């Protein structure tokens, strides 16, 4: 149906513009913002044939003049100091990181300016795939926000002759305190915010602030929105609306404490749009992304925008599929028909390797160390590592193990910070009648990270994870496709490893899959670290016998070839084995 949507859209008028710049793809290390959030939304809409290039606007960084219309000179001067950025982000910040994130936030502010310009000029919706820095006040930054792009964009409107009323609808999980404070004495801007807890200062000439507390679910949230927003719109009659569409109320948000479902998030966004359009069909509406933490934050905005563009919700693909699309696009100029050249490199191209080097010096008989490094660079994996704060990632390959080649990725040229360790081999015995890429060992760790209440230690961990499991799996799937094996296989040594991969891989033995799903259901209400701890402590038991459930490392597979997909599909269609496990309360 994508081709039909493309033909229809070619002759139609899009209801919205998108504002995006590739330099949005940066975030501070240790902050769980997905730097590719906007890129994933844009790629999804393009892949579905819902957006055209002429509907995507490139922003320019906000000028110093525009920034000083809102922020005090002393605050702007303070942004040149590392201590200020450290206070804003709550983690130690290097000077080059401070410069990059300040440039990013100036660009995001320029993106919001561009969005309000487009919305005002056309009467259509304009979405900045960034921005929403609503905590920054006139004289202080806080909570990841150095500048307030919303206020800067409103001041830009005023500078260019727009004197009518503006309504800011802020549905980020956190209070829009900065925006409210900036406009506290301005009757021409009404700030509306539904959030978990109030931040200071409260009040203002035109302000609505509703704090719902923690643990909020769909009914409470949507009821509060439906009861409070329409009267504000009807009474205030804004001539321009800015919607701060934070996705951190979602139940899977890394930093959030609410439990709003995907359906609830979509109902929220549609309700806001319907209420604004109920006032007047051509009221300009600009949207900014605001908060949303973790790899799934982009999906909520993607669903909303697809519903506007397609007339119905187009469900985004799973994360691994998204990463595979990105990696395959980056690989197009890399691969050759035969894998013997190591992703497009011959030995003549490789410094320090003599022509005619034996095949034993190639990973899986196909890829040189240089080819491995080039592939990781071209698909963007090494750039993800750099975003984690490791400026000089270094690749090593060890052929000495009898179990398979070991690929190591270090965070520095001196090889002191091990980030990734991966041992692979080609295996023809694990899955009868098929050849698979067998992962003997996989380690992903951030030696600079620290365990915390939000990121507790999992069994077997020396350091916190890198958060790049899906990228590694996507890269391994590409290796499978390149060397023409049937799929990927491994045996997860811990329960939590199987949980992390449950959307992408299945146990080869269908009975083991049934057992795992029953086990996962028994601990589903617990955070993953607590679930792993409960299993280790023997608090997950067989409901019939009362015996503790013991984790067994059995084979999981990701099918690549059609014949393996058919075999796995046939096993999925069988009658499930009945398992009944229950969770016991911890002993006092």
Q: Which residues are catalytic?
A: 135
Q: Is 564 exposed, middle or buried (0-12, 13-18, 19+ CB in 10 A)?
A: buried
Contacts of 392 (CB under 8 A, 6+ apart): 411, 412, 413
114 and 128 in contact (C-beta within 8 Å)? Answer: yes
Q: Is 494 exposed, middle or buried (0-12, 13-18, 19+ CB in 10 A)?
A: middle
Q: Compute the distance between CA of residue 292 and CA of residue 449 in angstroms, rounded to an integer.
A: 21
**Per-residue CA distances from 256 to 131, 219, 291, 367 (Å):** 18, 17, 10, 43
**DSSP-derived secondary structure letter, 35:** T
475 and 323 in contact (C-beta within 8 Å)? Answer: no
**Closest residue by Cα to residue 253 from 454, 517, 534:** 454
Reduced to 3 states (helix: H, G, I; strand: E, B; else coil), residue 310 is helix
**Per-residue CA distances from 535 to 50, 550, 551, 573 (Å):** 46, 7, 8, 29
Contacts of 409 (CB under 8 A, 6+ apart): 376, 385, 393, 394, 395, 396, 418, 419, 420, 421
41 and 305 in contact (C-beta within 8 Å)? Answer: yes
Phi and psi based region of residue 404 (left: phi greater than 0; alpha: psi -120 to 50; beta: remaining): left
Integer Rg of the chain from CA: 26
165 and 236 in contact (C-beta within 8 Å)? Answer: yes
The span from the first CA to the last CA of the chain, in angstroms, equals: 58
Cα 530 from chain centre: 23
Q: Compute the distance between CA of residue 44 and CA of residue 300 in angstroms, rounded to an integer.
A: 12
**Closest residue by Cα to residue 407 from 366, 435, 463, 358:** 366
**Per-residue CA distances from 160 to 56, 144, 189 (Å):** 23, 29, 16
């Amino acid at each position: 149906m994508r081709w039909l949507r493309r033909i229809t859209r070619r002759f139609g008028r899009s209801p919205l513009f998108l504002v995006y710049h590739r330099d949005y793809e940066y975030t501070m290390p240790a902050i769980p913002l997905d730097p590719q959030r906007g890129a994933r939304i844009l790629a999804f809409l393009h892949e579905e044939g819902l957006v055209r290039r002429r509907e995507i606007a490139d922003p320019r960084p906000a000028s110093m003049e525009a920034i000083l219309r809102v922020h005090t000179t002393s605050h702007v001067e303070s942004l040149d100091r590392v201590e200020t950025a450290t206070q804003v982000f709550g983690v130690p910040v290097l000077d080059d990181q401070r410069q990059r994130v300040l440039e990013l936030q100036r660009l995001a502010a320029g993106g919001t300016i561009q969005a309000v310009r487009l919305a005002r000029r056309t009467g259509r919706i304009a979405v900045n795939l960034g921005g929403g820095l609503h905590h920054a006040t006139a004289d202080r930054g806080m909570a990841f926000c150095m500048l307030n792009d919303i206020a800067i964009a409103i001041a830009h409107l005023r500078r260019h002759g727009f004197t009518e009323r503006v309504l800011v609808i802020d549905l980020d999980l956190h209070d829009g305190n900065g925006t409210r404070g900036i406009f506290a004495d301005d009757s021409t801007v009404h700030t509306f915010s539904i959030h978990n807890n109030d931040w200071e200062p409260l009040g203002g000439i035109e302000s609505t602030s509703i704090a719902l507390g923690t643990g909020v679910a769909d009914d409470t949230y949507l009821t509060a929105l439906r009861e409070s927003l329409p009267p504000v719109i009807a009474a205030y009659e804004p001539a321009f609306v800015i919607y701060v569409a934070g996705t951190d109320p979602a139940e899977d948000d890394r930093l959030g404490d609410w439990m709003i479902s995907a359906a609830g998030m979509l109902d929220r966004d549609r309700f806001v749009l319907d209420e604004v359009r109920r006032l007047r069909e051509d009221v300009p509406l600009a949207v900014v992304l605001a908060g949303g933490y973790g790899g799934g934050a982009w999906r909520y905005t993607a669903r909303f925008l697809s519903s506007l563009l397609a007339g119905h919700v187009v469900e985004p693909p799973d994360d691994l599929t998204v990463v595979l699309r990105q990696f395959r696009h980056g690989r197009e100029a890399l691969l050759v028909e035969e894998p013997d050249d190591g992703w497009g490199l011959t030995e003549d191209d490789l410094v320090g390797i003599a022509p005619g080097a034996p095949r034993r010096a190639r990973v899986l008989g196909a890829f040189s160390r240089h080819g491995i490094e080039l592939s990781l660079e071209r698909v963007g994996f090494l750039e993800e590592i750099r975003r984690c704060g490791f400026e000089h990632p270094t690749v090593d390959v060890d052929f000495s193990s009898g179990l398979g080649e070991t690929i190591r990725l270090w965070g520095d040229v001196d090889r002191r910070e091990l980030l990734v360790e991966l041992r692979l081999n080609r295996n023809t015995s694990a899955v009868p009648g098929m050849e698979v890429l067998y992962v003997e060992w996989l380690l992903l760790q951030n030696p600079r990270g620290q365990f915390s209440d939000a990121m507790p230690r999992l069994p077997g961990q020396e350091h916190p994870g890198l958060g790049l499991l899906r990228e590694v799996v996507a890269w391994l799937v590409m290796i499978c496709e390149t060397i023409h094996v049937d799929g990927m296989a491994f045996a997860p040594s811990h329960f939590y490893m199987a949980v992390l991969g449950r959307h992408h891989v299945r146990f080869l033995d269908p009975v083991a899959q049934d057992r795992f799903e029953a086990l996962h259901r028994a601990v589903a209400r617990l955070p993953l670290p607590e679930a792993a701890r409960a299993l280790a402590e023997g608090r997950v038991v067989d409901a019939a016998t009362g015996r503790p459930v013991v984790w067994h490392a059995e084979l999981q597979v990701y099918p690549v070839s059609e014949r393996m997909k058919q075999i796995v599909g046939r096993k999925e269609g069988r009658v499930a084995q009945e398992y009944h496990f229950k969770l016991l309360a911890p002993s006092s």
